Chains A and B, each alone.
Chain A
Amino acid sequence: MKKCSRCSKPSTLHITEIQEGVAQELHLCESCAKQYLAAPEPMTSESDEFAEKLSESVSEEESESYGQLVCPNCGITFKEFRSQGRLGCPHDYNAFAKELTPLLENIHGETQHVGKCPKRAPEASQKQYELIKLRGRLRAAIDEEDYEMAARIRDEINELEDEVHSSGDDD
């Protein structure tokens, strides 16, 4: 466990402060944290504030078990999400559903959307997520200069895009 950045007590609060685009990590004990939070420091973005709250709310043991979770489509781990406060792709809401539900309840008090819906509902959402995965694999293949593989993936993407478009354009 890290020591408090301001005194020598063990730190309980871990804050990433972003000022003018520069991220600075702060580790504070409970009393220094109270002082820090009371001071009129410049506000960070909503998502950064959220990331701070996230890192406060999860204990280190919990974070170890969460750390293993990975989204099969975009490759982000739950641990990365926790430190950044931002998800990697729409599919993360499925991949991390169990872990996200209590968070959503905490933030919003509800977990069921009741607002506006797109008229053109994305029926083929699984295909949309598949596209995210394929695009990632395509870039990896290009990076590795495996052009044969890249060409195959490109064809797969085109095929899937055609399917998605034809199912979306019923009119």
Chain B
Amino acid sequence: MDLDSLTTTSGEWLRGNGPESDIVISSRIRLARNLAQFPFPNRADDAARTEIESLLKDQLFDLAVGTRLSYVDVRTLNDLDRQFLVERQLISREHAESHGSRGVGISSEENLSLMINEEDHLRIQVLHSGFALDDCWKQIDQVDDAIEERVTYAFNDELGYLTACPTNVGTGIRVSVMLHLPALVLTKEIQKVFQALHKISLAVRGLYGEGSQAMGDFYQISNQVTLGKSESQIIAELKDVVPNIINYERRVRDALIQENRQGLHDQVSRAYGILKNAQTITSEETMHLLSSLRMGINLGLIDDLEIPTVNELFIHTQPAHLQKIRQESLESSERNIARAGYLRLRLTDDDDDRE
């Protein structure tokens, strides 16, 4: 796969038109799987890791799942390309920063990725735009079945799929929904959401899942329990809980508009103004302002910009994406200038393109 070509596109999951896509950015399901006859990656030496990689890679190539997979050898990539794949949500940070033989199979629509030699031998991930957990499950279940016909997974009747970390054992499933919750953050109501989710054993994380902080008011809600519940029960739990958070966010947005429409309109318009005109801007400020802008579009306060463009800007203004787009390595201060330039170009271009 030519990673450079990805800088001109954005993943299918960013198209911003799935169910509830004003608040739900994306739905993701991942399965952790291991081969029965090898030690887990952290305990496997270089030779074993290479054997695991080539065995699984061979199986991926003739995987009949209705989509073509490209294989990227993560070991041979430079740091920038690895970071790029992390920003793209195609590999985890742990996979990028790990060592030894490892790689990832990626579908052309970027909604399926198969990480080899991450924490487990195989991490299958499916990512869809909007609130679409059933679609994710349907696809990932098929991919899992297709792989399982070719290899022997580590599994036992009592504990289910055996994983490197006992927090994943059983189904090996992690079901996550990425939510944009600017109004709950603005009114500090988000703390109540966290507390409520914590009580029912759901985890809240930032934009890039594990090991990231919530930036730009994006929160990933996911299950923690993987044993003693079936996949469909776990998915059903998320499907029960997430609409409550969506409604909560919408109610707070409506209240904000009613109480202080002008103030909110001002905040959103200022965010748009800075993004269109800044000469240097940090990643953090960009995320913050894009978040305001995104809410403004959804509330009808801004009408000359569309959600998919904003979704794409979130990803394309990240450090590795910027450097890939510019095809040069940039220091932090240079990136801030390049980021501002890219935002001016994209936001002004979009104005001109609109008819």
User: A interface vs B, CB < 8 Å?
Assistant: 20-21, 40, 42-47, 50, 73-74, 76, 84-90, 93, 100, 103-104, 107-122, 125, 128-129, 131-132, 135-136, 139, 161, 164, 168
Are B37 and A132 in contact (CB-based, < 8 A)? yes
Q: Which of B100-108, B149-157, B283-291, B302-310 contacts A (4 or more CB under 8 A)?
A: B149-157
Complex Cα–Cα for A76 and B43 (A):
8
Are A131 and B43 in contact (CB-based, < 8 A)? no
Known A45-B93, A104-B159, A108-B227; 17 more pairs at CB < 8 Å: A43-B205, A44-B211, A45-B119, A86-B40, A86-B119, A107-B166, A110-B228, A111-B159, A112-B228, A113-B169, A115-B171, A116-B144, A116-B230, A116-B231, A117-B160, A122-B152, A161-B37
Which residues on B sit within 8 Å (CB–CB) of A44? 210-211
Which residues on B sit within 8 Å (CB–CB) of A43? 205-206, 210-213
Q: How many A-B residue pairs have CB under 8 A?
A: 164
B173 at the interface (CB under 8 A from A): yes
Are A112 and B225 in contact (CB-based, < 8 A)? no
B277 at the interface (CB under 8 A from A): no
Q: Which residue of the partner chain A has the closest CB to B227? A: A108
Q: Which residue of the partner chain A has the closest CB to B98? A: A21
Known: A50-B167, A85-B165, A128-B152. A164 touches B228 (CB 8 A): no
Q: Which of A40, A100, A115, A131 contacts B37 (CB 8 A)?
A: A131
Are B173 and A115 in contact (CB-based, < 8 A)? yes
Which residues on B sit within 8 Å (CB–CB) of A100? 166
Show 16 residue pairs from A and B whose CB-CB distance is below 8 angstroms, ordered by the A residue.
Answer: A21-B97, A42-B211, A43-B213, A86-B42, A87-B165, A89-B39, A89-B43, A90-B154, A93-B159, A107-B167, A115-B173, A116-B144, A122-B36, A122-B154, A132-B38, A139-B45
Are A74 and B39 in contact (CB-based, < 8 A)? yes
Are A115 and B160 in contact (CB-based, < 8 A)? yes
Separation in Å of the B281 CB from the closest CB of chain A? 22
Complex Cα–Cα for A144 and B40 (A):
24
B34 at the interface (CB under 8 A from A): yes
Which residues on A sit within 8 Å (CB–CB) of B155? 117-118, 121-122
Number of interface residues of B (CB under 8 A): 55
Which residues on A sit within 8 Å (CB–CB) of B39? 73-74, 88-89, 132, 135-136
Are B149 and A45 in contact (CB-based, < 8 A)? no
Q: Which of B45, B169, B210, B228 contacts A114 (CB 8 A)?
A: B228
Most buried by B among A47, A118, A125: A118
Q: Which of A73, A74, A90, A161 contacts B34 (CB 8 A)?
A: A90
Q: Which of B83-135 contact A (CB under 8 A)?
A: 92-94, 97, 119
Which residues on A sit within 8 Å (CB–CB) of B238? none
Are A113 and B158 in contact (CB-based, < 8 A)? yes
Which residues on B sit within 8 Å (CB–CB) of A115? 160, 170-171, 173, 229-231
Which residues on B sit within 8 Å (CB–CB) of A129? 36
Complex Cα–Cα for A116 and B143 (A):
13
Q: Which of B40, B43, B157 contacts A113 (CB 8 A)?
A: B157
Q: Which of B215-236 contact A (CB under 8 A)?
A: 224-231
Are B43 and A88 in contact (CB-based, < 8 A)? yes
Which residues on B sit within 8 Å (CB–CB) of A86? 40, 42-43, 119, 164-165
Which residues on B sit within 8 Å (CB–CB) of A111? 158-159, 227-228
Q: Which of A84, A104, A117, A139 contacts B227 (CB 8 A)?
A: A104
Are B119 and A47 in contact (CB-based, < 8 A)? yes
Are A46 and B36 in contact (CB-based, < 8 A)? no
Most buried by B among A21, A107, A131, A164: A107
Q: Which of B40, B166, B203, B226 contacts A88 (CB 8 A)?
A: B40
Are B212 and A42 in contact (CB-based, < 8 A)? yes
Q: Which residue of the partner chain B has the closest CB to A54? A: B166
Which residues on B sit within 8 Å (CB–CB) of A85? 165
B48 at the interface (CB under 8 A from A): yes
Q: Which of A20, A104, A136, A161 contacts B166 (CB 8 A)?
A: A104
Are A40 and B213 in contact (CB-based, < 8 A)? yes
